[in-house]
Amino acid sequence: MRILKILIFLPLILLTISFMPSLFKQFVYKYEVLVIAGGNSELEKSFESIVEGMLLSWNIPFRKIEVKPRSSEAEERLLKKELFLKDKEVLFTSVIITKKFDEFSDEEIKILKKVSKRYGVSLISFFSLCDRRSKDIFGIGNLSSEKTKSVAFYVKNKEKYLLGNLENEEVFRGGEFLKIKTKNAKVILKSKEFPIFFYNKFGKGINYYFNFSPETWNVFDGKHVLFRRAIFQNSGNGFIYFDLEGLVVLRCDDPLRNISWEDDQSYQRFYYKRMGIKDWKLLVDVLKKHNAGMSLAVVTGFKDDGEKERGDLYVKGERVKDRVCGRIFDSKDVKYVFKIKEKEILDYEEEFKGLKQALKIYENLDIQPHGFIHLNPEESWCNAYNKHNDSGWGVEFFHFFENRDIPEEYQKISVEESYKRIKSWFGTEPSVFVPPGLLVSSNTEKLLKEFGYRYYFDKFQLKKFLNGEYKTLNFVYVVPVKELDWWVKPSYKRAFISLPVILGLHDADFIYFGIDWFDKFLSAWKREGVKRFVSLGEFVGMISSKIYAEYDGRKVKLFVDISEPIGPKNLESSKFFVKKNMLLTLKVPEKWMRKIGKDTMEIVIPPFRENKIFIKEINFQKTN
């Protein structure tokens, strides 16, 4: 009788199971982010730009689609279930929506709800983009278009889930937000009793909402960390990423730079002798102590001012008798002896030997071009009345005094000749172009693109070539000073916990301030929360590597691809990770946290080349 009942109900049981695939299928989650953009308003475009800049800066793999406003009900839409799901694969762990929800159809809203609720895709959105049909996704009770401001946002729930070490309310700068109210959501930040950042459990999905206006995101602080962590946490499926929190890039400009022409008293520090073999050795000792990488942005050309009365010029040990203003020598072969100063010698030959030795004994140094001559390349400099007493002449890729572009032919020579010398002298290919003064002409970008540079500095911004154009990455640029208390200011603390810092040093800093000062400088920064000091070479190696991973509930399968071009000719010497270990962080899926005993794992990948693709599996069932 019991068997008969089972047989009677068996078809019904099988039919029920067939309509409940999500309960029995083991889905594979792809560690990638989808950005849904396409809004026409300034608000939507601002959020689109902010999100893209952050994802590029942190090297988070993402795909962007633009969903334009509908012209008719019959128009076919991009936002379909197939965009998010393929067989047993959930194609994105997070979907970031920078477009107003009221421009989605009812069917599209249903699809977004379904992929989050049933399949655990995490949805993230902002400020006033939500509408009444989508508010339950984020746990919003009452929507409001009424805006207000606050000077600071306060931490309501000091939980490790997202905040980590961000329990100090000072890290969250104030700004404009909306007077919305939540329903069932977990509020992390609030101001004037209104929620600023919160998340909501929505079926299998965990969705996040940032009630910050676009302008608020221009101040780098804890909100950027929360945004990044929301992506890594998603709905508990984990993520694999480069850990860029607390990262400082060290870039030292001006090794081998000609400073024989400059009398400007405000730049008096440049008149100290060049760093010699012993100086570079001491600097390497400090870098080794802190396990720090550094880039040396060198100047390979020496442009002579032709003035014998100022000093004697020696090239390869021979005094140059026929001095002509504008003539260019290889800086590594030059020694300059001042006549207008007391026995002061600029010995570039010894400096070059010190550089070569430093590179030989310490592998965490790399060489980048700092222009070619670090001087205005035009003939007008030779006849200028202020050629010796205004540092503006040191700008090579823009005419500082006439506020105009430098002719293209001069710039082309500088780009080509600096590359040739670095490759010849140091046996390596550079990866980042650093213009003197960080100023460029309107056509410089075109020349760098044609030559093949994928990264360059424009003012205090690092740009990356992507999809046919240079895009500005989000970083904090700072310049050191002698005092050792400046970085404890809250603004710099915020920089350390949000975006990587690029520290713009000069070789003269080490002589003017002292190498012991630099040692104390790095020690103090580490006490303030800096985790790692890296070179530009390692840094662009990180943000050029493509990381793909998938999680099937038992193991993570990781794919790392370093085949993306970096140096102008894409030589192997420009790729950091064919010579050094790669350090990645795995955000452990929630279900395995207790078993492993921590929420993250460090993954060390040894150097790899040939096809430049590395594949690794991490089986959680075998993890103790």
Domain spans of the chain, in order of start: 24-237, 248-300+362-539, 545-622
DSSP assignments along 292-323, one per residue: --EEEEE--EEE----TTTEEEEETTEEP-S-
d(CA 616, CA 603) in angstroms, rounded, equals 10
The mean pLDDT value of the chain amounts to 86
Q: pLDDT tens digit string along 283-324?
A: 999 999 999 999 999 999 999 999 999 899 999 999 999 999
What's residue 27's pLDDT?
A: 82
Return the beta strands (E) in 424-564 as ranges.
432-433, 455-458, 461-466, 469-472, 476-478, 501-506, 532-534, 546-551, 555-561
Binned at pLDDT 50, 70 and 90, residue 342 comes out as low
The percentage of the chain sitting over the pLDDT mark of 70, rounded to a whole number, equals 85
Q: pLDDT tens digit string along 91-119?
A: 999 999 999 999 898 999 999 999 999 99
The two structure tokens encoding residue 570: 């894409």
Binned at pLDDT 50, 70 and 90, residue 13 comes out as very low
Q: Is there a common fold for 24-237 and 248-300+362-539?
A: no
Q: Which is more confident, 497 or 533?
A: 533
Q: In the predicted model, is pLDDT for residue 132 greater than 60? A: yes
What is the mean predicted confidence (pLDDT) over 119-147?
93
d(CA 193, CA 144) in angstroms, rounded, equals 14
Binned at pLDDT 50, 70 and 90, residue 481 comes out as low
Q: What's this model's pTM, rounded to 2 decimal places?
A: 0.89
Q: Per mean pLDDT, which range of 249-258, 466-475, 492-501, 526-535 is the poorest?
A: 492-501
What is the mean predicted confidence (pLDDT) over 68-79?
64
d(CA 282, CA 285) in angstroms, rounded, equals 5
Tell me yes or no: is domain 545-622 CATH 2.60.40. Answer: yes
Cβ neighbours of residue 409 closer than 8 Å, sequence gap 6 or more: none
Query: Does residue 603 contact residue 616 with C-beta atoms inside 8 Å?
Result: yes
Q: pLDDT tens digit string along 572-614?
A: 999 999 989 999 999 988 888 877 788 888 999 999 877 788 8
Query: What topology does CATH give the domain 248-300+362-539?
Result: TIM Barrel (3.20.20)
d(CA 346, CA 338) in angstroms, rounded, equals 8
Cβ neighbours of residue 52 closer than 8 Å, sequence gap 6 or more: 35, 64, 471
What's residue 75's pLDDT?
A: 54
Q: In the predicted model, is pLDDT for residue 170 greater than 90? A: no
Residue with token string 């202020």: 386
Q: Which CATH class is domain 24-237?
A: alpha beta
Binned at pLDDT 50, 70 and 90, residue 165 comes out as low
Number of other CB atoms surrounding residue 64 within 10 Å: 17
